Chain A
Amino acid sequence: MEDISIQICGIGKSWGKVRALHDIRLEIGKGELFGLIGPDGAGKTTLIRILASLLLPGSGTASVEGYDVVKDYRKIRDITAYMPGRFSLYQDLTVAENLSFFATIFGTTLKENYHLIRDIYVQLEAFSNRPAGKLSGGMKQKLALCCALIHQPQVLLLDEPTTGVDAISRAEFWEMLRRLKTQGITILVSTAYMDEAALCDRIALIQEGSILKTDIPSAIPGDYPRRLYAISAKQMYRLLKDLQQMPAVFTAYLSGQHIHFSLNPDFPEPGLIAMLLEKSGHEGIQIREVVPGIEDSFIALMKGESV
């Protein structure tokens, strides 16, 4: 990595006795699309708010484009854009009014920087006189992104931008991010959706305020320590309960339509499991081996295994 855009050195933050972040260390390169992946309450929002200069870190230091988030917060506000998870534009102002408001308070104009947002804004142009509060979820997201980009930021901080947005809009949104990346903007995006992790250049898995692992998305499941199987049967819930009680089973959890499970090292064969389950009355059992995904790695990491 030649050029570092965001550097986080041992950032910690506590709310009273609750530890939100603990000794976070990350380096994000210029022009990188970096994903912060973790469940709700993992500390993603806290970390992003610290980088956006909205929160003071409890300990440690962090810098964005070489500017310290505490000392040089004014400079940071010039060069970064922050898009909170909740839609936070003026609902009673129109699309165009919101845009020109955010352009003005960043000391620029819509005309001057129109080229930055043209690709996204063309989809909104038909609604430019509609109050922002009356837009659909996907449209709101596009408008928020336009407002964030209007002052030509070098760093874009996105906090769960796709939460509560339909699948098509989510795909479109990630397409927009990829295009922004080609303009050299560093993007830090947090999400709770594991499937979005694969769309990032690199990801960090975060859980209970600590980073579990940082790598390129394809490398993370490669280190999965065991063979992983997908199983389905008629009564999925009872199946899960039964699996979790078997001594041979190491982990079992729901994953989409199936249950993913892995076995203790002494039981290398899943065939025995199927027999046992049939005996206890399960019907329509289907087992196949699957390639572990990021989610599987994440669950393994959460249990404290080293992957």
Chain B
Amino acid sequence: MRTIGFLIQKEFLQIFRNRSMLPIIFAVPVVQLIIIVHAATFEMKSIRLFVVDHDRSVLTREVCDKFRGSGFFRITGYSDLDRDGEQGMKQREADAIVVFPADFEKQVSMGRDARFQLIVNAINGSAGGLIHAYTQSVVQDMNHNLRKESGLISMETRPQQIDLTYTFWYNPELNYQTFMVPGILVILVTVISLLLSGMNIVKEKEIGTIEQVNVSPIRKYQFIAGKLIPTLLIALFELAFGLGVGKLLFDIPLEGNLLLVFFAAAVYSCVILGLGLLVSTMTGTQQQAMFVSFFFMIVFILMSGLFTAAENMPDWAQWLNHLNPVAYFIRIIRMVLLKGSGFTDIRPDLFALALLAVLSITLAVRRYRKTV
């Protein structure tokens, strides 16, 4: 134990002597939280709309005002030529085009159904879908007004209606930041755990110190513990720091038991540390270790459900996600922080994480024995 204690002390000495380390530990969480949380949002607040108006009537102007008034749209172009609309879309001046046919107002005034067209830039499919949905709601609103004006809806003829009332739980304001901050915290813990553990041992290989340690009576498990424990402590510190920043800057809810969050984070960090150790046994230089780590990290993070709902992924991907520690921890941290879930609620996920931790550390230690 005394030896491990001494190894940990030496590790911290080296970490804090590294001039770039302290800024990384403190600046990375703040910058990541501020930039990503603000920038990565699916809400669309100013969809750029190009209006191609062949009708040039009072009604089309009214529809345009409705779009503007909805708060989602900004009209960035107006013309009576189809060509101009296409041009606007190509030059990235418009996200969508609405085309009013020449007899638009006439059809409405004659009491017939009138049509106009919406063309959406759907390169980003989900954004395209959202634009369609927003447009739909604007048009519905419009229809409602039209019926009222023409007196179609009077007290007597009003049809039976089923009304839906709703409340949003856990995130009543549908605040995207509340959703993102816990996820970003997971990324933080991941980056710190994976890079610090992976790089650290490879660095000892690169400068040859690992041999000096290997010829000493020190045991392998002591050496590994001396490497992993400092990283674990730093990762947990990062989480605490990130939570503090998240609370201060974004006022994210902290519903559940924070101790539970940290316990889950420790288990999760062990999985990642094991992976880092595994990477460092397979590589000879810090550069190689960096590339391999990034490969794992990007796959894990993109599949984790941080940005997109993991439940919507194809079956095979969801099955693969059973091996993805990031997915478990993101779920756990969101459940505990936002829903206030307790230990029994997260038990299956926590259990899976613990299993992965045992697996990755066992694998890494076995490989480490063979190679070094």
> A residues bordering B, Cβ < 8 Å?
52-54, 74, 77-78, 80-82, 84, 86-93, 97, 101-102, 104-107, 147
CB distance from A91 to the nearest CB of B (A): 6
Contact B14–A93 (Cβ < 8 Å): yes
Stretch at the interface among B168-176, B214-222, B303-311: B214-222
Of all A-B residue pairs in the complex, the 7 with the closest CB atoms, nearest first, are A88-B208, A105-B216, A82-B215, A105-B218, A104-B6, A77-B217, A88-B212
Residue of A nearest to B5 (CB): A104
With both beta carbons as reference points, the residue of chain B lying nearest to A49 in the complex is identified as B211
A88 contacts B13, C-beta separation under 8 Å: no
Given A84-B208, A86-B208, A88-B207: A93 and B10 within 8 A (CB)? yes
Residues of A within 8 A of B10 (CB): 90, 93, 97, 101
Q: What residues on B are CB-neighbors of A86 within 8 Å? A: 208
The reply to whether A90 and B215 contact each other, CB–CB distance below 8 Å, is no
Taking a contact as CB atoms under 8 Å apart, the answer to whether B6 and A78 are in contact is no
Query: Is there contact, CB below 8 Å, between B207 and A91?
Result: yes
Q: Are A102 and B208 closer than 8 Å at their CB atoms?
A: no
Residues on A with beta carbons closer than 8 Å to the beta carbon of B209:
88-90
Interface string of B342-368 (1 = CB under 8 A from A): 000000000000000000000000000
- The answer to whether A105 and B3 have CB atoms under 8 Å apart is yes
Of the residues A54, A77, A87, A92, contact of B14 by C-beta under 8 Å: A92
| Residues A105 and B208 in contact, CB atoms below 8 Å apart | no
What residue in chain A is nearest B226 (Cβ atoms)? Answer: A105
Residue of A with least CB distance to B15 = A92
Q: Which residues from B are CB-within-8-Å of A74?
A: 217
Q: Is the CB of B217 within 8 A of A54?
A: no
User: Once the chains bind, are B17 and A92 in contact (CB under 8 Å)?
Assistant: yes
Q: Which of A77, A82, A105 contacts B6, CB < 8 Å?
A: A105
**What is the CA–CA distance of A93 and B9 in the complex, to the nearest angstrom?**
12
Whether B216 lies near A102 (C-beta < 8 A) is: yes
Report A-chain residues with C-beta under 8 Å of the C-beta of B6.
101, 104-105
Q: Of A89, A91, A93, A106, which one neighbours B217 at CB under 8 angstroms?
A: A106
> Which A-chain residue is minimally distant from B372 (CB atoms)?
A54
Which residue in chain A gives the minimum CB-CB distance to B10? A101
The closest CB in chain A to the CB of B2 belongs to A104
CB atoms of A84 and B217 under 8 A apart: no
What is the bound-complex CA distance between A87 and B209, given in angstroms?
A: 9
Whether, in the assembled complex, B18 has its beta carbon less than 8 Å from a beta carbon of chain A, the answer is: yes
A126 CB to closest chain B CB (Å) equals 21
- Any A CB within 8 A of the CB of B213: yes
> What is the CB-to-nearest-CB distance from B216 to chain A, in angstroms, rounded to a whole number?
5
Further contacts, 6 of them, CB under 8 A, given A53-B215, A90-B14, A93-B14: A54-B214, A84-B208, A90-B207, A101-B10, A105-B213, A147-B212
Given contacts A86-B208, A88-B209, A104-B3, contact A77 B18 (CB under 8 A): no
Contact B14 A80 (CB under 8 A): no
Whole-angstrom distance from the CB of B207 to the nearest CB of chain A? 6
B216 touches A77 (CB 8 A): yes
The chain A residue sitting closest to B215, CB to CB, is A82
Contacts of B207 in A (CB 8 A): 88, 90-91
Report yes or no: A52 in contact with B215, Cβ–Cβ below 8 A. yes
Interchain CB contact under 8 A, A88 and B211: yes
Instruction: Please report the C-alpha to C-alpha distance between residue A90 and residue B209 in the assembled complex, in whole angstroms.
Output: 7
- 15 A-B contact pairs sorted by A residue (CB < 8 Å): A54-B215, A77-B215, A77-B216, A77-B217, A82-B211, A84-B208, A86-B208, A88-B208, A88-B211, A91-B207, A93-B14, A93-B17, A97-B10, A105-B216, A147-B212
User: Which of B7, B207, B214, B216 gathers most chain A CB within 10 Å?
Assistant: B216
**Bound Cα distance from A106 to B216, whole angstroms:** 6
Inside 8 A of B18's CB, which chain A residues have their CB?
Answer: 92
Q: How far is the CA of A53 from the CA of B207 in the complex (A)?
A: 19
Q: How far is the CA of A106 from the CA of B13 in the complex (A)?
A: 19
Question: Which residue from chain B places its CB closest to the CB of A85 in the assembled complex?
Answer: B208
Assuming the A-B contacts A92-B18, A102-B212, are A97 and B13 also in contact, with contact meaning beta carbons closer than 8 angstroms in the complex? yes
* Chain A residues with CB below 8 A from B7, complex form: 105
Instruction: Find out whether the CB atom of B17 lies under 8 angstroms from the CB atom of A84.
Output: no
Which B residues touch A77, using CB under 8 A? 215-217
Q: Which chain A residues border B215 with CB–CB below 8 Å? A: 52-54, 77, 80-82
Cα A4 to Cα B58 in complex, Å, equals: 110
B261 to chain A, nearest CB (A): 34
Could you give, for residues 237-277 of chain B, a 1 whenever the CB lies within 8 Å of some chain A CB and a 0 otherwise?
A: 00000000000000000000000000000000000000000
Q: A84 near B211 (CB under 8 angstroms)?
A: yes
Segment 190-217 of B: residues with Cβ below 8 Å from A: 207-209, 211-217
Compute how far the CA of A84 lies from the CA of B212 in the bound complex, rounded to whole angstroms. Answer: 8
Closest residue of chain B to A148 (Cβ to Cβ) is: B212
Q: B177 to nearest A CB, angstroms?
A: 39
Rounded to whole Å, the gap between the CB of A97 and the closest CB of chain B is 7
| Nearest CB on B from A52, distance (A) | 5
In the assembled complex, the Cα of A107 lies from the Cα of B215 at a distance in Å of 13
A93 touches B216 (CB 8 A): no
- Separation in Å of the A114 CB from the closest CB of chain B? 18
A89→B212 contact, CB < 8 A: yes
Residues of the B chain whose Cβ atoms lie less than 8 Å from the Cβ of A78: 217
A288 to chain B, nearest CB (A): 46
